[in-house]
C-alpha cells in the first residue's frame, strides 16, 4: 500500500517529541556536573559535595568516569535497540511501540539522577548515581533511537527532510532553553527547600512536562500511514557493519565525533564560563541562552532556503569554522576588562549562526546517506544509521566528559581573583576550538553531490 506524505502538521507533532527528550537531555548535559562537582561559587551559595571529589589514578574524577561509562554504555546499546526497532513486527509499527514504552521511565530516571540518599561525600551516593546514569542512558536510547529513525521515513523528499530537520531543531532549542531555566526556577524554592532540594523539585516539574511532550507523537502519529514498517532481516551486528561500510557515512561520523567532543566541552562548561570566567550569577545562563536561541531562530529560515539552493556541505563546513571562533573568544572571557554581560552577549550572538546550521543540517545529511544507501542495497536501515550517528555523538560526549571533569580541576584551588583562577575552564574552551576546526576539515571530504544525484536518479525512475 502506498504511504501518505506527512503534512507539516504531522511533522510538527513529531517535533514535539524532540521538545520533550531535549529537555531531559539538556537537564543532564548542563546541570549534572554543575550539581555534583560544584565550583567555589556554588559551595558558597549552599551546595554540598554529595560524591567524593577525588581523582582516580591521578587522572579521572569519579563523576567523569560515571558520565563517560554511562555514555559508552548508551553508545553500545544504540545499535542493539536500533536493530530491534528495524526488525520489529508490531501492529503499531517499528518505532512507536518503543517510544510509548520508554517515555515515562525516561522522565522518572532523570529525576532520580539528582537524588543522593546517603550523607554528603559518601561513596554510596556515587554508586546510586552510577546506577541511575546507566538507566537514564538506556531509557534515552529506547526513545531517541526509534524516534530519530522516523526522520527519513516521515521526510521522504529533500524539501520534507530539510523542513522536518528545521522543525525538530526549533523544538530542540526550546527544550534546551527550558533546561537552562533550572537555576531560575530553583531560586523560587531555594529559601524553603535549600539548594539541592530546589534543584530537585525543579527538575521534577520539567521532567513531567517533558514526558507529556514525548508521548504526543507516540499517540498522535500513525506510523503505518506514513512510514515503511517492513522489518529488516539482518541481525543488529550485521546491519551495523553494513552501515559503516558506507564511505560517506564514515566521513560524516568522524567529523561528528570531533564536533560532539567540542560541543560537549562547551555546553558542559557554559555554566562555569558564566559564573567563573564572566563573574555572573548562574541565573544568567537562561537569558544568555535565550539571546542565542532567538538569534539562532532568526537564521533558521535563511539556512533552510540556502541549504536547498547551495547544498548542506558548504554551510556545515562554514559552521564548524565559525563555532571554533566562538569557542576561542570564550576562552579569553574575563581576561580583558570588559563587563561579563558584554562577553556573554557577544558569545551568544556569535554562537547563534553555527547553532542554526548545525541544529538543522546534520540530521538531514544522515537522512540523505540513509536514503542513498537504501537505493544501493534495497534495505531500509534508517534506524541503524541514526543509531550509528548517535553512537558517534555519545562517543564524543563520553571522551569530552572525561576531559572536562579532569581539566576543570586544574587550578581549582586557586583563590577567586588570582591569576590561576578558572584556568581549567579556559583550557576546555581552547580545546573545543581545536577540535571544532579538525571536525570541519574532516567534513570537507564528504561527497554530497554523489549522494544527492543518486537519490534524485532513483526518484525519477520511480
In a domain, 410, yes or no: yes
Helix (H) or strand (E) holding 56: strand 55-56
C-alpha distances in Å from residue 243, one per residue of 77, 174, 352, 419: 16, 32, 32, 50
In degrees and rounded to multiples of 5, residue 172 shows phi and psi of -65, -45
CATH number for position 117:
1.20.1250.20
Cell numbers describing residue 5: 506524505
Give me the residue label for grid cell 573568544: 329
> How many Å apart are CA 252 and CA 275, to the nearest integer?
35
In a domain, 457, yes or no: yes
> How many Å apart are CA 210 and CA 138, to the nearest integer?
17
In a domain, 95, yes or no: yes
Task: Output the pLDDT for position 189.
Answer: 93
Beta-ladder partners of 61? 55
Give me the residue label for grid cell 561509562: 69
Residue 316: closest CA among 347, 353, 289:
353
User: Mind listing the pLDDT tens digit for each residue in 193-244?
Assistant: 999 999 999 999 999 999 999 999 999 998 888 776 666 666 666 766 777 7
Task: Output the pLDDT for position 309.
Answer: 84
Cell numbers describing residue 71: 555514555
In a domain, 157, yes or no: yes
Residue 221: closest CA among 96, 103, 98, 99:
96
| First-to-final CA distance of the chain | 15
Q: What is the DSSP code string of 112-127?
A: HTT---S-TT-HHHHH
In a domain, 2, yes or no: no
Task: Output the pLDDT for position 389.
Answer: 80
Contacts of 14 (CB under 8 A, 6+ apart): 6, 150, 154, 164, 167, 168, 217, 221
Q: How many domains does the chain have?
A: 1
In a domain, 225, yes or no: no
C-alpha distances in Å from residue 460, one per residue of 41, 364, 450, 451, 455: 61, 20, 16, 15, 9
Q: How many distinct helices (H) and strands (E) make up the chain?
A: 16, 2
> What percent of the chain has pLDDT above 90?
31
User: Mind listing the pLDDT tens digit for each residue in 157-184?
Assistant: 667 777 887 888 889 888 988 998 898 8
121 Ramachandran zone, left/alpha/beta (phi>0; psi -120 to 50): left
Domain boundaries, position 125: 8-220+230-461
Contact 300, 169 (CB under 8 A): yes
Q: Is 363 helix (H, G, I), strand (E, B) or coil?
A: helix
Residue 232: closest CA among 18, 377, 43:
377
In a domain, 42, yes or no: yes
Which residues does the chain have with pLDDT short of 70? Answer: 1-2, 57-59, 155-158, 228-237, 239-240, 380-383, 415, 417, 419, 459-462
Task: Output the pLDDT for position 204.
Answer: 96
In a domain, 81, yes or no: yes
Amino acid at each position: 500500500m502506498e504511504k501518505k506524505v506527512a503534512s507539516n502538521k504531522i511533522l510538527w507533532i513529531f517535533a514535539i517529541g524532540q521538545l520533550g527528550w531535549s529537555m531531559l537531555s539538556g537537564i543532564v548535559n548542563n546541570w549534572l556536573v554543575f550539581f555534583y562537582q560544584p565550583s567555589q561559587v556554588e559551595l558558597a551559595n549552599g551546595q554540598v559535595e554529595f560524591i567524593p571529589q577525588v581523582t582516580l589514578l591521578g587522572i579521572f574524577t569519579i563523576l567523569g568516569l560515571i558520565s563517560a561509562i554511562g555514555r559508552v554504555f548508551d553508545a553500545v546499546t544504540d545499535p542493539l535497540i536500533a536493530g530491534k526497532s528495524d526488525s520489529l513486527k508490531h501492529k503499531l509499527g517499528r518505532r512507536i511501540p518503543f517510544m510509548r514504552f520508554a517515555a515515562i521511565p525516561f522522565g522518572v530516571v532523570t529525576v532520580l539522577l539528582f537524588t543522593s540518599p546517603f550523607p554528603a561525600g559518601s561513596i554510596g551516593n556515587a554508586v546510586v548515581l552510577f546506577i541511575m546514569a546507566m538507566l537514564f542512558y538506556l531509557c534515552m536510547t529506547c526513545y531517541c533511537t526509534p524516534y530519530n529513525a522516523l526522520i527519513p521515513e516521515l521526510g521522504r523528499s529533500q524539501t520534507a527532510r530539510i523542513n522536518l530537520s528545521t522543525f525538530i531543531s526549533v523544538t530542540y532549542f526550546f527544550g534546551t532553553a527550558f533546561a537552562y531555566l533550572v537555576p531560575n526556577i530553583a531560586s523560587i524554592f531555594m529559601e524553603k527547600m535549600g539548594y539541592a532540594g530546589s534543584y530537585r523539585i525543579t527538575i521534577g516539574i520539567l521532567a513531567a512536562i517533558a514526558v507529556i511532550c514525548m508521548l504526543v507523537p507516540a499517540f498522535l502519529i500513525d506510523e503505518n500511514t506514513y512510514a515503511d514498517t517492513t522489518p529488516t532481516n539482518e541481525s543488529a551486528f550485521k546491519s551495523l557493519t553494513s552501515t559503516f561500510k558506507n564511505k560517506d557515512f564514515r566521513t560524516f561520523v568522524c567529523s561528528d565525533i570531533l564536533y560532539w567532543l567540542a560541543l560537549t566541552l562547551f555546553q558542559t562548561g557554559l555554566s562555569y564560563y558564566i559564573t567563573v570566567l564572566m563573574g555572573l550569577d548562574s541565573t544568567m545562563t537562561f537569558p544568555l541562552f535565550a539571546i542565542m536561541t532567538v538569534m539562532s531562530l532568526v537564521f533558521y529560515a535563511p539556512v533552510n532556503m540556502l541549504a536547498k539552493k547551495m547544498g548542506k556541505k558548504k554551510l556545515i563546513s562554514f559552521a564548524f569554522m565559525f563555532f571554533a571562533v566562538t569557542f576561542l573568544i570564550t576562552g579569553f572571557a574575563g581576561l580583558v576588562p570588559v563587563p561579563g554581560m558584554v562577553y556573554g552577549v557577544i558569545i551568544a550572538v556569535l554562537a547563534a549562526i553555527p547553532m542554526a546550521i548545525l541544529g538543522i543540517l546534520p540530521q538531514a545529511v544522515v537522512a540523505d546517506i540513509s536514503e542513498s544507501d537504501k537505493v544501493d542495497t534495497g534495505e531500509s536501515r534508517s534506524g541503524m544509521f541514526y543509531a550509528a550517528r548517535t553512537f558517534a555523538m555519545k562517543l564524543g560526549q563520553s571522551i569530552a566528559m572525561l576531559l572536562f571533569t579532569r581539566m576543570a580541576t586544574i587550578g581549582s584551588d586557586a583563590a577567586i581573583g588570582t591569576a590561576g583562577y578558572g584556568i581549567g575552564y579556559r583550557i576546555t574552551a581552547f580545546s573545543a576550538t581545536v577540535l571544532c576546526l579538525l571536525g570541519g576539515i574532516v567534513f570537507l571530504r564528504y561527497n554530497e553531490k554523489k549522494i544527492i544525484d543518486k537519490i534524485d536518479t532513483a526518484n525519477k525512475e520511480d
